[in-house]
Amino acid sequence: MNLENRVIPRLLCTLSICAFTCFSSLAMGQEPAEGDAMFAIVIHGGAGGNPAEWTEEYREARRAGIGKALDRGVKMLQSGALALDVVEEVVRIMEDDPVFNAARGAVLNEQGEHELDASIMDGKTLACGAVASVRSFKHPISLARKVMTETRHVLLMGDGAEKFGKTQGLETADPSYFRTERRVEQWRRWKSKQSTSMHEQNKPESYFGTVGCVVCDTQRNLAAATSTGGLMGKRWGRVGDSPIVGAGNYADNGTCAVSGTGIGEEFIRRNIAADVAARMRYGHTPLSDSAEQSVGTLPENAGGVIAVDAKGNMVIECNTVGMSHGFADSSGTRAVRLTREK
């Protein structure tokens, strides 16, 4: 189906895959052999932007980045790794890749500096950790995990998060490590066209690239991790949805694991990630319908979510033209796409 025909009316697209229970009916991948432990993983490299307008080189770089992170996650799951370890490792790989808007390659704020947000959540225990506006850690997602495991808090920000992180032996880097030519160029363009219109500032090209991963491991545990540089030209001190548990990231074994990408303010207003879970919990709504309904409450072009439940159902839902993502499961399914279509 022509993507335009589908996205123009509502700019809403859904991919739903019943991984463990009805995979053969979709004729994708193979049925897991009896006795095989089952798993599912979905990752995203951000919503927004129009892949048709990118160079083939850039499209390929994004596909390669998603593929590399996805394959590492699959390998870990095949070895029986826990969901929480997998989501952290996959997001670390994407934080290292300058093609994404997370850690190295993060977008720049209005002052031309980077401020990084991340969160991680364990669906088995509801333990979670997050950091906001950090600047010197190569892997903000690992700092978020340290907040979860080494403090009695959920969210640390700015200088406090930096100070805490330095006591944890995590790898740090100079500002130049995070800054890429592409982002500096984008920032210059943003600066030269800087508009006072909020609509202009929230155009899709200003926010694509957040990364996220949701996993159902072989023990049916769920976890979610999300990391971002936020929005291009964001105000100094602005915090988006990615480190806000329930808004841009959520995991609960009883419902689902969700990672969001898009205009963080819209996700915070609607508590989108937790809203997907709430529709499942209270409305007994299946994962795909829950994700579609939650994303359906967002303004057009605001972004999307990836989600997985404890049966291994996987969902990609967005109301933007582009949303780089990949998904795989124990039946042999594997796909990497820049939009829902390809």
Which residues, including other chains, have CB under 8 Å from residue 15's CB and lie 6 or more apart? 314, 315, 316, 317, 340
The answer to whether residue 210 is catalytic is yes
C-alpha–C-alpha distance, residues 106 and 225, integer Å: 17
Stretch near ligand GLY under the rule CB under 6 A, chosen from 123-131, 175-183, 257-265, 307-315: 257-265
Rounded to 5 degrees, what are φ and ψ at 104? -65, 120
Q: How far is the CB of 209 from ligand GLY (least distance, A)?
A: 9
Q: In terms of CB distance, is 165 or 230 closer to ligand GLY? A: 230
> Contact with ligand GLY (CB under 6 A): which of 48, 165, 230, 326?
230
309 binds ligand GLY (CB under 6 A): no
Residue closest to ligand GLY when measured from CB atoms: 240
Which residues, including other chains, have CB under 8 Å from residue 302's CB and lie 6 or more apart? 262, 263, 266, 267, 319, 320
Tokens of 226: 């999300």
Question: How would you classify the pairing of strands 40-47 and 323-329?
Answer: antiparallel
Cα separation values, 106 from 127, 209, 231, Å: 27, 8, 9
C-alpha–C-alpha distance, residues 251 and 126, integer Å: 7
210 binds ligand GLY (CB under 6 A): yes
115 binds ligand GLY (CB under 6 A): no
Cβ neighbours of 195 (radius 10 Å):
11
Q: How far is the CB of 230 from ligand GLY (least distance, A)?
A: 4
Q: CA gyration radius for the chain?
A: 18
Binding-site residue total for ligand GLY (CB under 6 A)?
13
**Marked catalytic residue, from 151, 196, 210, 297:** 210
> Contact with ligand GLY (CB under 6 A): which of 264, 304, 322, 326?
264
Q: In terms of CB distance, is 21 or 111 closer to ligand GLY? A: 111
C-alpha–C-alpha distance, residues 262 and 183, integer Å: 18
133 binds ligand GLY (CB under 6 A): no
49 binds ligand GLY (CB under 6 A): no
Closest CA to 309 of 288, 338, 335: 288
Q: In terms of CB distance, is 321 or 328 closer to ligand GLY? A: 321
Within 13 Å of residue 329, how many CA atoms lie on the same side as its CB? 29
> Contact with ligand GLY (CB under 6 A): which of 29, 32, 204, 248?
248
Q: What number of H helices and E strands is found in the chain?
A: 11, 13
Contact 299, 183 (CB under 8 A): no
262 binds ligand GLY (CB under 6 A): yes
Q: In terms of CB distance, is 226 or 330 closer to ligand GLY? A: 226
DSSP β-bridge partners for residue 335 = 327
241 binds ligand GLY (CB under 6 A): yes
Q: How far is the CB of 341 from ligand GLY (least distance, A)?
A: 23
242 binds ligand GLY (CB under 6 A): yes
Q: How far is the CB of 319 from ligand GLY (least distance, A)?
A: 14
Tokens of 305: 């979510």
240 binds ligand GLY (CB under 6 A): yes
> Contact with ligand GLY (CB under 6 A): which of 186, 206, 261, 330?
261
Closest CA to 113 of 99, 91, 133, 96: 133
317 binds ligand GLY (CB under 6 A): no
> Contact with ligand GLY (CB under 6 A): which of 201, 228, 288, 331?
228
C-alpha–C-alpha distance, residues 159 and 11, integer Å: 39
Active site residues: 210
The residues binding ligand GLY (CB under 6 A) are: 207, 210, 228, 230-231, 240-242, 248, 261-264
